[in-house]
Structure 1
Amino acid sequence: MKRAYKYRFYPTPDQVELLAQTFGCVRFVYNSILRWRTDAYYERQEKVGYIQANARLTALKKEPEFAWLNDVSCVPLQQSLRHQQSAFSNFFAGRSAYPAFKSKRHKQAAELTASAFKYRDGKLYMAKSKTSLDVRWSRPLPCAPSTVTISKDAPGRYFVSCLCEFEPASLPITAKTVGIDVGLKDLFVTDTGFKTGNPRHTAKYAKRLTLLQRRLSKKQKGSKNRAKARTKVARIHAKISDCRLDGLHKLSRKLINENQVVCVESLKVKNMIRNPKLSRAIADAGWSEFVRQLQYKGEWAGRSVVAIDQFFPSTKRCSACGHTLPKLALNVRLWTCPECAATHDRDVNAAKNIKAAGLAVLACGESVNP
């Protein structure tokens, strides 16, 4: 399997200048070729592919006004066109929106293949730079990387992501299984009644973020003070994102380590986030990322992660007798079954039903009907 290992590094002043130039060239090539492809279709009804786009890049580099494109490695420029082609493929397949232009105020990235970097004696060298990158190797690489992606986030931090081949080690088989119901009051609740709580990272930093955003709005556009204020806002957003990811990684790893089968719901978060009252809380919870982590960590560890049908009435069905209520209001946290008189906690009951449905799907290989 392939796995990306991400590290932070601290570039020298010369490397900062080279990286800024590389990011700028990558962004310029991506945006100019995207504009050229869009105009070719709408004005002349021409469909442009990767081969034509690559030829266009070669022509641009030969023009005197764009001679500065030759000052950086050609590999990240070509890789940006490959990414653009993948974006168009996803768009035509209905998996994503039309490719958007890249902004210099957001995350910057440049991908290097084997011909544009060297990994030797535990040191990483990029093309056009004589000194190695000062990488904080928090864990060793399993092998020499096949691809390296250098990025700079909005607060100005530099990261390097190394794509390597690795052999996943399966965990010992255990008899434990668990069903989990994700929510907002608690990030998830298990069928045994365990509740994680919700750290609500966005709400924790909301007051500070509001203050910094108000200060940013008062700065003159284009000024250095506005750039400094924008960096401060970006740092708060990065802090929130880092805290959220750290918590999700710890919880998903604990579930995978302790259980052989993890049963979850299939949620359409993209549709749920349209609720104006709950959109911020849903986005802060990170349900999609949590399920994604469970799936790939389960695959690495030899565990089974089962997602049941999204229309399965896990909340309204009694886990004791199977009776299904016609409707159940969101503010009702405890309810009593009219058939067997069993009293249920809303989330724990849903987790029990999810576990039963997930085990049935795992055993029969079929979707569970409501």
Structure 2
Amino acid sequence: RASSGSRRALGWIPFKKGSAKWVNGQVRFAGHYFRVWDSYGLADYEFRAGSFVQDARGRWYFSVSVEYQPNATPSRKAVGVDLGLKDTATCSDGAKLKAGRFYRDLEDALGKAQRTNKAQRVRAIHAKIRNRRKDAIHKFTTHLAERYGVIFVGDVSSAKLVKTKMAKSVLDAGWHQLKTQLKYKAIARSGVFEEVNEAYSTQVCSCCRAKPDSSPKGRTALGIRHWICSECGAEHDRDINAALNILAAGGIPVSMEESSPFRASEDVKARKDGNPCLHHQ
């Protein structure tokens, strides 16, 4: 392969099961020994097929498939997750993953490196952006997968939104990566992951299931973060309300007293017995 110039190609060396082995704290392959940063305890696993791969910064990684017995998540509780831009993800229990602005925080430094033709510096900045995003998403998704046995996520489309003025923020949020991580982490813990139709999840009141005139509608209402339902009087956080509707779209009944962080107005509390907000199917 060409290791430099315009025809430079990244290294990729695949191997079959049995070709690579773990010997005395090193990987033995084709008669050679390679030291690796063993962050997974490789001595405890049997190697299957894999490969040696090189990234854009010239660093080499040992990528291998192994067999292991997953530990099932003891909880069977369910959670709905709404994806957005102000907050990358909002859960029906009120937890949020704040937007990290990973690209925007380093945009000026990246532009300066590109203008001065410092290719190595450009690759390093891109790697830092990618690693920061991946780290934040990993911590958030691991927490959800360990706490909940059933996870529902809205089917928001990144491909459509990247054609709008919000493209840079959409790509920086990493929705696809977040959904991918949630899916394999839920499966690894014998949990359930499902994408559900999130149509009108922002506009519908998660309390009375009505679509009142007071709910935020369209792009012009993106700045509205809190609203009160004109039908039942429930007060909503925009994103948490959407997450509750996503949870309901997955077929899970939502109890206001157990899982909703919003509160009803005083006039609604006064007529508690006939209030559809207390529990809905």
Matched to 1:157, the amino acid is R
Aligned to 1:209: 110
CA distance in 2, matches of 1:175, 1:147: 34
Aligned to 2:167: 279
Match of 1:158 among 44, 60, 64: 60
User: How far apart are residue 331 of structure 1 and its match?
Assistant: 2.5
User: How far apart are residue 143 of structure 1 and its match?
Assistant: 2.6
Matched to 1:337, the amino acid is C
CA gap 1:342/1:171 in 2 versus in 1, 3 angstroms: closer
Where do residues 77-88 of structure 1 align in structure 2 (5 Å cutoff)?
Answer: none
User: How far apart are residue 114 of structure 1 and its match?
Assistant: 3.7
Aligned to 1:167: 69
Aligned to 2:14: 111
Which consecutive segments of 4 or more residues in structure 1 shift more than 3 A? 103-108, 114-122, 325-328
User: How far apart are residue 213 of structure 1 and its match?
Assistant: 0.8
CA distance in 1, matches of 2:187, 2:16: 27
Aligned to 1:233: 122
Report the structure number with the largest CA radius of gyration: 1
Question: Unmatched 5+ residue regions in structure 2?
Answer: 254-281
How many residue pairs get aligned? The number is 245
SS at match of 1:359: coil
Where do residues 253-332 of structure 1 align in structure 2 (5 Å cutoff)?
Answer: 253-275=142-164, 277-310=165-198, 312-325=199-212, 327-328=217-218, 329-332=221-224
Matched to 2:192, the amino acid is S
Asked if the contact 1:105/1:154 (under 8 Å) is kept, the reply is no
CA distance in 1, matches of 2:147, 2:9: 38
CA offsets, 1:99-156, max 9 Å, x none? xxxx8556432212247544444432333xx430121112222433122211111112
Aligned to 2:132: 243
Matched to 2:185, the amino acid is K
Match of 1:135 among 17, 21, 36: 36
TM-score (normalizing by structure 1)? 0.61
- Indicate whether 1:343 and 2:235 are aligned: yes
Asked if the contact 2:79/2:91 (under 8 Å) is kept, the reply is yes
CA distance in 1, matches of 2:159, 2:35: 39
Asked if the contact 1:155/1:232 (under 8 Å) is kept, the reply is no
Asked if the contact 1:187/1:198 (under 8 Å) is kept, the reply is yes
CA gap 1:107/1:272 in 2 versus in 1, 3 angstroms: farther
Aligned to 1:224: none
Asked if the contact 1:169/1:300 (under 8 Å) is kept, the reply is yes
Query: % of aligned pairs identical?
Result: 32
Asked if the contact 1:263/1:359 (under 8 Å) is kept, the reply is no
CA gap 1:181/1:215 in 2 versus in 1, 3 angstroms: same
Asked if the contact 2:92/2:243 (under 8 Å) is kept, the reply is yes
CA gap 1:107/1:359 in 2 versus in 1, 3 angstroms: farther
Match of 1:353 among 225, 240, 245: 245
- Indicate whether 1:334 and 2:220 are aligned: no
Kindly indicate which of the two structures has a greater share of residues assigned to strand.
2
Asked if the contact 2:73/2:149 (under 8 Å) is kept, the reply is no
Asked if the contact 2:80/2:243 (under 8 Å) is kept, the reply is yes
CA distance in 2, matches of 1:315, 1:104: 49
Match of 1:144 among 46, 50, 55: 46
CA distance in 1, matches of 2:58, 2:203: 48
SS at match of 2:56: coil
CA distance in 2, matches of 1:201, 1:294: 20
Question: Unmatched 5+ residue regions in structure 1?
Answer: 1-22, 26-102, 217-228, 362-370
CA offsets, 1:221-275, max 9 Å, x none? xxxxxxxx21110011011111111111110000111112222111222222221
